[in-house]
Amino acid sequence: MSVPMDDRALQYGDGLFETLRVERRRAPLWSMHLQRLLNGCERLRLPGPAPDALWSAVCDEVPDDASYVVKLLLSAGSGPRGYARPEPVAVRVYAQAAPLAETPALRSAIWCELRCALQPRLAGLKHLNRLEQVLARMECQDASADEGLMLDHEGRVISATTGNLLIRCGGRWLTPRLDACGVAGVARRWLMQSFPISEATLTKAEVDTADCLVISNAVHGPRQLLRLAGRDYAADLEVTEWRRCWRQCFEADPA
């Protein structure tokens, strides 16, 4: 599959994406992916495609009952030169599937030097402007770390490079607020609906003193982070239970 040169996703990152886990042609978290994507369309003032058309685009890429990761990319379509969108906008939807790999353990993480810029107009969205994540990911590679935690411009903890962060402090589960930057993950939302987890403004010091750290994304679900900046964390029973529920969600037959 290829994309025309004048596609605004290529030219300006003018678009959104979703990365979803599909097992046996089912995506149990589809409604949350769909909701985030359509909310993103609204906030970026893009016409939202029909939900059925989006689901068909996913299904068309899934050849059999095996497990896949499907990436759905919604672009603002073609336009003439310049930042101004054409009127009307004709969005394009691209989908691509890859076999689901086994979930890798998160053995180590660093604190990234790169700070997330504050941009409330884009906060929470899974939009296509991802240079910050690309640069932060390089820091992880340089340090041979599996993940990297990111602070924002003002020193608040935001997320990992490929997922959201959840921490347990004094028996309470907390996850960073995402009203000025960051991506509001679908797995984060699923976890917050399934277990008692609160949003909070978190500092690096609070994360450093937490007794359990979890990184979540919609492909691999919640995973415990086993080492951060030299400190080890023992495997945790509560996270094991979260993972059991996550697996069950994908394995259960639809009611």
Query: What is the DSSP pairing of strand 147-152 with strand 109-116?
Result: parallel
Least separation in angstroms between residue 133's CB and a second copy is 5
Judged by CB, which is closer to a second copy: 143, or 169? Answer: 143
Least separation in angstroms between residue 74's CB and a second copy is 12
155: which residues sit within 8 A by CB, 6+ positions away?
A: 203, 204
Q: Which residues bind a second copy (CB under 8 A)?
A: 1-14, 17, 19, 44-45, 69, 71, 73, 76, 81-85, 94, 96, 98, 114-115, 117-119, 121-122, 127-138, 140-141, 153, 161-162, 181
Judged by CB, which is closer to a second copy: 67, or 96? Answer: 96
Paired with 97 in beta bridges are: 70
Query: What is each CA distance from 224 to 14, 57, 188, in whole angstroms?
Result: 33, 32, 14
Dihedral angle of Cα 5, 6, 12, 13, to the nearest 10 degrees: -70
Least separation in angstroms between residue 233's CB and a second copy is 24
Least separation in angstroms between residue 100's CB and a second copy is 11
Judged by CB, which is closer to a second copy: 19, or 175? Answer: 19
Query: What is the DSSP pairing of strand 212-217 with strand 197-200?
Result: unpaired
Distance CA 45, CA 14 (A): 11
* Radius of gyration, CA atoms only, the chain: 18
What backbone torsions phi and psi does residue 231 show, to the nearest 5 degrees? -105, 135
In order, the DSSP letters of 76-104 are: --B--SSSSPPSS---EEEEEEEEPPPPP
Judged by CB, which is closer to a second copy: 10, or 249? Answer: 10
Judged by CB, which is closer to a second copy: 45, or 193? Answer: 45
Whether 148 and 139 have beta carbons less than 8 Å apart is answered as: yes
Judged by CB, which is closer to a second copy: 101, or 252? Answer: 101
Least separation in angstroms between residue 173's CB and a second copy is 26
Report residue 113 as tokens.
């030097």
Least separation in angstroms between residue 244's CB and a second copy is 26
Query: What is each CA distance from 215 to 3, 88, 224, 225, 243, in whole angstroms?
Result: 33, 40, 6, 7, 12
Judged by CB, which is closer to a second copy: 145, or 225? Answer: 145
Least separation in angstroms between residue 84's CB and a second copy is 5
